[in-house]
Structure 1
Amino acid sequence: MRGPHNLVRLIRTGATFERTGAMAVVLDAMDAPKPLRVAIRLFAAPFRWLGYEGDPAMPPATRAITALGPAYIKFGQILSTRPDVVGDELAVQLRVLQDSLPPFPTAQAKRAIAIELGQPVDRLFSEFSEPVAAASIAQVHRAKLAETGETVAVKVLRPGIEKAFRRDIEAFYFAARMIERLSPASRRLRPVEVIAHFESVVLGELDLRLEAASAAEFSANTAKDEGFEVPVLRWHLSGRRVMTMGWINGIGAAEVAQIDAAGHDRKRLAARVLQLFLAHALRDGYFHGDMHQGNLKVGPDGTLIALDFGIMGRIDEYTRRVYAEIIFGFIRKDYRRVAEVHFEAGYVPADRDVDAFASALRAVGEPIFGMDASRISMARLLNYLFEVTERFGMETRTELILLQRTMVVVEGVARTLDPHINIWEASRPVVEDYIRESIGPKAVARDLGRTVQVLSRFGPRLPALAEAALVRQSHPEPEPRRRDLPPIGWIAVGAALTAAAGWVASLV
């Protein structure tokens, strides 16, 4: 029975926030109403002694989250990019969670490398530094290859990280089930499925072989993207708990003062961050799913350097087109078309009113246009959008959670670089290019060609299929299955499509 254990874990979460002083900080940052503040404090106070003490040298919120473990740290990383949601003071505290956590001993890292790669560290590397960055799941060491003297980055998983994550995930599942039982209205948000998605994403980070494969694929997709770079992977020095990549010097995306001192154009960088993310998501259907400041650096020439490929997202081509139409509709202020796309894709139940939904979307989109980001309260905007989706019966689409979350994170990074950025204007060129390539006559011809090519593979089997169909018609079954076309009709259709394959393909 894990229920009592999970309940204790959740109580301990509240107690830890109370004990470290983080509870008051979070409630202030979220501008919680007084009745809610009193209720939470009264509930948490009796259990204060159950809370973890944490590191007293850390700010309260960071102290509480790091004491609670890696899953909580992941949530904290997301919030650190949203000062407009959690406030500037709390966002600064949480930013430490990105790559400045307490490291584990270098001796443990060397032992893990030796076990994973089958050779002692001194034989593989002529130099091996103390940790240069430590995050929730792994830490990074700077090293030099013994054979070539090349400088590399060696990433090593934290000891016992798998067990710690599973403990937290179990507690999250418990909380999600309790929410569904106590609040039927919350079921449309599918909290259990949301946690399942989060679990699948995080477990993928716990096998660095998968991250290595992701880095290689992402590097191939983005090889021609100007001003963007992915470090070169060293496969022979990588495994389940260790990954080695080329070392690239750069300034952290959060270090605004250093970026200014180096003479980089922060406005251009901010727009480029948004545009690259959209290009990867729409053009490739494969994007960096953890694109916070700790995973982005600015090279000496202004190149954006991506790091940490443990969380990557995929979007199928149909969904990419739907999202592009939605974004493009917002950019053109065509709220009616945005609403229609939601209905066509099945995101909103068919029995709801399209015009009413379009009006609600207008109330969401209009405040954005003609205003810079510093005047927009994203917290209020997201709250209103949540109310709209609830009113129109939209359900949480778990396959798109990572995309939506990453969009929030990327916008937060762009706001750090340029507080006055207009996200719609920065997004317009990428979305318009994708619309031109993916929606229109050229795209229709290309799609038709692909369809016919798939169908044409059945060409060699058509004689056998026709013969089998004729045999079945000559000797019908006692209760033949219902068909929209008789078997011979399907054979004729297949033959016609096969004959047309070459002609259509020649047009594409």
Structure 2
Amino acid sequence: MIRPKILMRLIHINWVMMFHGLDEIVLKTHLFRPIRYIAFLSPNYWTSKAREPRGVRIRKTLEDLGPIYVKFGQTLSTRKDLLPEDIAEELVKLQDKVPPFSAETARKIIEQQLGQSIEEAFAEFDPQPLASASVAQVHTATLNSGEKVIVKVLRPDIEDKIHSDVGLLYELARLAERFWSDARRLRAMEIVAEFEKTILDELDLVREASNASAIRANFKNSEMLYIPEIHWPLTRRKVLVMERIYGVPVGDIEALRKGNADFKKLAERGVEIFFTQVFRDNFFHADMHPGNIFVQLPDKYLAVDFGIVGSLSSSDQRYLAENFLAFFNHDYRKVAQMHIESGWVPASTRVEEFEAAIRSVCEPIFEKPLKDISFGLLLLRLFQTARRFDMVVQPQLVLLQKTLLNIEGLGRQLYPDLDLWQTAKPFLENWFKQRLGPSAKIKELLSKFPEITEQIPEMPGLVFQALQSAAHMEQQMQQHQKEMLELRKQLRRNNTRTLRAILGTGVLIAAALILQSPLLRG
């Protein structure tokens, strides 16, 4: 039974879709084509709203539905290869051009969070937002020290909206797992739980500031990536103040071209930054859509907005690296074996059959630049393979998969001739050499040497305890053996007595039968 609050939200979603004329688009799909004529009964069909381009209607619908839907549109906007051009171009506007909230509201939130007036906190403050996204908007300001900064302000009442939509997602996931067998394999409830944790973390700007500081430290003095500095005295849960950076938005290809950007190096560095964050640092920026990435010409990245980050367990990290390398080396048998060993596919799966399926999907895309790869077809075939072999979705990897798609989408925009595989393979080989090679083992041993030396004075006592324990154990074993031997002797004696009793009873019964025989009486 759907709860009333969830039902009201579903009704609202349908009303928003109808208001923007999306009922017409839905009715044109294959499923609803037989009843498409009922669209003429909709008032929106005859209004100017319905005559707006479909991309505009979809964008406005996502904006009106709230932050979760805007996030979905942002993710789609990075995959222009999977969308019609008119829809993709409109969804790009969701990255930093979501309708802003009022300057008065922003001012009230800032002053409430900082406990002082805008005039006290800043020498200058621009009430006109520089950019506005799904969760927050940003204003430019100048500190009393003269430093230029960005002030990020959380949207008002956003937590209630997100909780409402997450509740709807849980309800839909619950219904899906109840009535759709594939939803259980896809682990819909766990994926929603992972998404809920991620989106709620994004509502704490102190956490985001901490994430930014950590990645800034990881890439200190890097030639590939720069992260702006956080101003902690003016940072609160709903307000974040950081250094203002100046760069060209990575999605503005024309401006990059005019600035003589090195597109090939940018594409290669994007891949390297991703793999460095995932495997070297185990802490990656998981919201790398074009609205959060800028370029310092000609070839250096500037990144902002660290509300969503990801990390992996050491086992997932190593397993993923081994999978990537196996893919890059065309070793599909190893990929199949690792999936079975990890439990991602059932243990009863035939390795040869799974290997052949993976080869048929992946082999056609190797040694091809991004522009020659149909990722729409690749994803479709991967989903078909996963369904065929009952492959279980890993919720902890969903953020990583989303980020990888964003990186690939950026690479396609910047340098379609990029060979993704050859760019990533040397990095992974070097990572394995550093983490698992002989020198890595020696370093690990040396790192533990101080701990070992601290235990050396205690070793004689530990050895003595071990010998005492072994001697005591040996005595117990000997006693146990004696008891077992005695038990065997007792069993043999009991068995002999039992056998004699049985034989004696048998003889008596036989004698009685003979004495009662008619032959003896006669």
TM-score, structure 1 as length reference: 0.84
- What pairs up with 1:124-135 in 2 under 5 angstroms? 124-129=121-126, 130-135=128-133
User: Partners of 2:27 and 2:245 in 1: how far apart?
Assistant: 40
| More displaced 10-residue stretch of structure 1: 287-296 or 97-106 | 97-106
- 1:280-327 deviations in Å (ceiling 9; x for gaps): 111111100100100000014431001000000011222222111111
User: Cα–Cα, structure 1 residues 433 and 68, in superposed 2: closer, same or farther, change >3 Å?
Assistant: same
Q: What is the Cα deviation at residue 419 of structure 1?
A: 3.0
* Correspondent of 1:216 among 213, 216, 219: 213
- What pairs up with 1:2-401 in 2 under 5 angstroms? 3-22=3-22, 34-35=30-31, 59-129=56-126, 130-146=128-144, 148-401=145-398
Match in the other structure for 2:516:
none
Tell whether the 8 Å contact from 1:143 to 1:154 is kept in structure 2 after alignment.
Answer: yes
Structure 1 letter corresponding to 2:323: I
Structure 1 letter corresponding to 2:244: W
Q: What is the Cα deviation at residue 15 of structure 1?
A: 4.1
User: Partners of 1:364 and 1:20 in 2: how far apart?
Assistant: 39
User: Cα–Cα, structure 1 residues 41 and 323, in superposed 2: closer, same or farther, change >3 Å?
Assistant: farther
User: Partners of 2:251 and 2:313 in 1: how far apart?
Assistant: 32
Tell whether the 8 Å contact from 1:18 to 1:45 is kept in structure 2 after alignment.
Answer: no
Tell whether the 8 Å contact from 2:280 to 2:431 is kept in structure 1 after alignment.
Answer: yes
- Tell me how large the CA RMSD over aligned residues is: 3.3
Give aligned-pair identity as a percent.
Answer: 36
User: Cα–Cα, structure 1 residues 216 and 475, in superposed 2: closer, same or farther, change >3 Å?
Assistant: farther
Tell whether the 8 Å contact from 2:21 to 2:44 is kept in structure 1 after alignment.
Answer: no
Question: Residue 349 of structure 2 aligns to a residue in which SS?
Answer: coil
User: Cα–Cα, structure 1 residues 74 and 455, in superposed 2: closer, same or farther, change >3 Å?
Assistant: farther
- 1:61-99 deviations in Å (ceiling 9; x for gaps): 111000111111111110111112222221111111111
Tell whether the 8 Å contact from 1:18 to 1:44 is kept in structure 2 after alignment.
Answer: no
**Greater C-alpha radius of gyration:** 2
User: Cα–Cα, structure 1 residues 401 and 221, in superposed 2: closer, same or farther, change >3 Å?
Assistant: same
Matched, 1:422 2:437: no
User: Partners of 1:364 and 1:110 in 2: how far apart?
Assistant: 54
Tell whether the 8 Å contact from 2:114 to 2:236 is kept in structure 1 after alignment.
Answer: yes
Structure 2 letter corresponding to 1:207: D
Q: What is the Cα deviation at residue 158 of structure 1?
A: 0.6
User: Partners of 1:131 and 1:14 in 2: how far apart?
Assistant: 31
Tell whether the 8 Å contact from 1:7 to 1:174 is kept in structure 2 after alignment.
Answer: no
Question: Residue 315 of structure 1 aligns to a residue in which SS?
Answer: coil
User: Cα–Cα, structure 1 residues 465 and 178, in superposed 2: closer, same or farther, change >3 Å?
Assistant: farther
Query: Is there any run of 5+ residues in structure 2 with no aligned partner, and where?
Result: 477-522
User: Partners of 1:340 and 1:452 in 2: how far apart?
Assistant: 36
Question: Residue 305 of structure 1 aligns to a residue in which SS?
Answer: strand
Question: Residue 102 of structure 1 aligns to a residue in which SS?
Answer: coil
Question: Residue 155 of structure 1 aligns to a residue in which SS?
Answer: strand
User: Partners of 2:122 and 2:377 in 1: how far apart?
Assistant: 52
Question: Residue 240 of structure 2 aligns to a residue in which SS?
Answer: strand
The total of aligned residue pairs comes to: 468
Query: Is there any run of 5+ residues in structure 1 with no aligned partner, and where?
Result: 477-508
Question: Residue 371 of structure 1 aligns to a residue in which SS?
Answer: coil
TM-score, structure 2 as length reference: 0.81
User: Partners of 1:452 and 1:42 in 2: how far apart?
Assistant: 77
User: Cα–Cα, structure 1 residues 424 and 211, in superposed 2: closer, same or farther, change >3 Å?
Assistant: same
- What pairs up with 1:356-505 in 2 under 5 angstroms? 356-446=353-443
Question: Residue 233 of structure 2 aligns to a residue in which SS?
Answer: helix
